[in-house]
Amino acid sequence: MLAREEILSLTKEIMAHQQCHVLYVIHYIEEIVEAVTHVLLLKEGQL
């Protein structure tokens, strides 16, 4: 099982070098990587 840091590193690499869309679901806002261009924040199931 990958550690959180490994997942973040892999996500950054994919977003930097691939021509694809990434849907990245997280529970900690500080894990949003700088390559992310759009964010949808849910709180108690509400936008």
2-47 pLDDT per residue, tens: 788 888 888 888 888 888 888 888 888 888 878 788 899 998 989 8
User: Which tokens is 22 given?
Assistant: 């990434």
Q: Is the dihedral of CA 2, 26, 15, 20 positive or negative?
A: positive
Q: What is the pTM of this model?
A: 0.58
Q: Is residue 38 a contact partner of residue 15, using CB atoms and an 8 Å limit?
A: no
Distance between CA atoms of residues 26 and 29, nearest Å: 7
The per-residue pLDDT for 19 is 81
Q: Is residue 37 a contact partner of residue 15, using CB atoms and an 8 Å limit?
A: no
Q: Is residue 2 a contact partner of residue 10, using CB atoms and an 8 Å limit?
A: yes
The per-residue pLDDT for 47 is 87
The per-residue pLDDT for 40 is 92
Whether 1 shows a pLDDT value over 70: the answer reads no
